[in-house]
Chains A and B, each alone.
Chain A
Amino acid sequence: MGIPTTPLVTRAFKELAILNVAKRGMPELRITFTPHPVASKTPEQLRAYVEGNDPVSGKPMMKEIVGALTDPLSNGEKKTGWVHVSIGPERYGPDTPKNLQQFYLDNGMTDFLPIIIPTEEEVSEMLKGTSHHPDEVVGKMAGGAYPPWSYTVKQVAINAVMAGCKPEYFPVILAIASSGTPSLMSSTNSFAYAAVINGPIRDKLNMNYGIGALGPFAAPNAAIGRAWTLVSRNLANGGVPGDTYMGSQGNNLNYNNLIMAENEAASPWVPLHVQKGFKAEENVVSLFRGLGIVPGQGARGTSTDTPKYEEQFSDLFSVFTGFFGGLVVADPLIAANLKERGYDTKDKLIDWLYKNTTQTVKDYKSRDFAYGFDYPRALKGLEPYKTWYAMSDDAVIPRWPHRDDINVVVLGGQTNAFFQGGSLSYTVSVSVDKWT
């Protein structure tokens, strides 16, 4: 703005704040720190913060704020110019594989599991999985509100090797990398990520969409998801606790994310990628972001004395925050039953879910996400938030702001009619064929 400005940051975010302002060209920005947390404190408690000391400098907080705005600038604070940050040498070694394993681990380049050492030979082999030039820029990515890093085909290949991928998996990984979507996000919420793969490539790679589809039962399902995490960590500098990762509890799904190959042959409905505008014969990966996935029940959904499947979906989603979308992951047995009962398209099921999964305005307003994200949108006049915030507390509104927040995927081995519900929002679909 060109006028003296000082940010206040709670003590828990000191390292993140200092590193991020440095990344944005202000390494000596005058930041004042408060005790943590500020949220959920009474006015009296916050008054004590204001009258107390900055927990980092130890000096009176208000004196720090006034000083930040009035103390003369140092030479360092007046500097201009450019800084080019190095990522270190192109190669490590030569050394024993054991030593190199430890080196990659100790320097934050793994997911804390053993990797395949990315030698020039391994990477050259991986590069055969695509026709794209090794030096071609694939995209850029940032796992938070900091300037993104960019990466080439070869840099993606190095991480794909580390994850244990085969060259034939490489186009899928390139497609994910080209989206710029990290699977490690800096938020204090511990986000989860999912990728749905559609098209003939599922069978070409022998991906699992039958029994144990979401579990550790197929190499491509495991390695593709793991590669996404390593790409996010290394190519985007993501997942560094205290700097680019602040998830308070973490999310176990980040190890290899939710990789879902849709069981297109067993589904009575069009596959997800066709819903998103692609042709059935195209190979596509669709990405989702949210908080995770929870098993539902299913099984007795066709009995006369138990809730129907769609009602069970709705019940499960009723405890999810509506900030993220709803993803129904249904076994083909459930999909077949729903079709028999009149849901001959995914759209009809989605219409029912949107209409019948509701909440009161009071409950909606009480949620953290609503306060932080939707209320500001309401103030800007965006719908439906503006209308929702104007309604009475006992009014009933949909669980999600938009019908398109709900998606449906069919997978599973049909050993029983079960389902899982994801608190996951669809973000983007990317062509895999482009990267072959």
Chain B
Amino acid sequence: MNRRALLSLLGASPALLSSLPAKARQTQSRTPLAKPSATQPQVVGLNPKGTPPPIQLIPMAPRLASLDGKTVWLVDTGFDGGGMLLDQIRLWFNQNLPAVKVIFRRKAGPYMEDDPALWKEIKEKGDAAVMAIGH
């Protein structure tokens, strides 16, 4: 399933991915109402859903022309196996892109908590980051 189909599940139009974000408003019910019978009593049901918050689009950070000579932070979020996976990625960089400096860090606190001190360190000293693992 591609991102456009998935976004329709969110209730957002695939126009979210286009250059016209204002059009990303209409949601589509997965199954429309069946054609009613004229002889049976009819009622109106109310929508039981809550109100989702508006979404502020965040532009991606400018990309690097190359990783050569750059420092990449490998951040372990704390899920089981993530640190070991990142260690293999570190070894891959050492063997295949030796011009890339790699630094490993385990994020402080459980996986769902922010680590502002680490973000600050990476922003000040790093050029890029890889975070793992989402499960």
Instruction: Spell out A's residues near B (CB within 8 Å).
Output: 1-10, 12-13, 15, 17-19, 22-30, 34, 36-41, 43, 46-47, 49-51, 62, 65-66, 69-73, 75-100, 102-104, 106-109, 117-120, 123, 140-141, 145, 147-151, 155, 158-159, 162, 188, 230, 234-237, 240, 243, 368, 371-373, 375-377, 379-380
Contact = CB atoms under 8 A, between A and B. Distances in A.
Interface of B: 1, 3, 6-7, 9-12, 16-19, 21-22, 24-27, 29-31, 33-34, 36-37, 40-67, 72, 78-82, 84-85, 87-89, 91-92, 96-97, 106-113, 119, 122-123, 126-135
A145 B112 contact: yes
B11 A372 contact: no
Contacts of B41: 96-97
Nearest to A69: B128
B89 to A, nearest CB: 6
Contact of B30 (A72, A76, A106): A106
Interface of B is mostly: loop
A8 to B, nearest CB: 4
A283 B39 CA distance: 48
A248 to B, nearest CB: 11
Taking each of A80, A93, A95, which has the highest tally of chain B beta carbons within 10 Å of its own beta carbon? Answer: A95
A25 B82 contact: no
Contacts, number: 348
Contacts of B42: 93-96
B88 A46 contact: yes
Contact of A9 (B40, B64, B78, B133): B133
A3 B122 contact: yes
Contacts of A26: 57-58, 60
A23 B10 contact: yes
Given A85-B52, A103-B31, A145-B112, A19 B80 contact: no
B135 to A, nearest CB: 5
A99 B55 contact: no
Given A15-B6, A95-B34, A38 B82 contact: yes
Contact of A7 (B78, B127, B132): B132
A76 B3 CA distance: 13
Contacts of A13: 134-135
Contact of B44 (A18, A23, A92, A235): A92
A149 B135 contact: no
Nearest to B31: A106
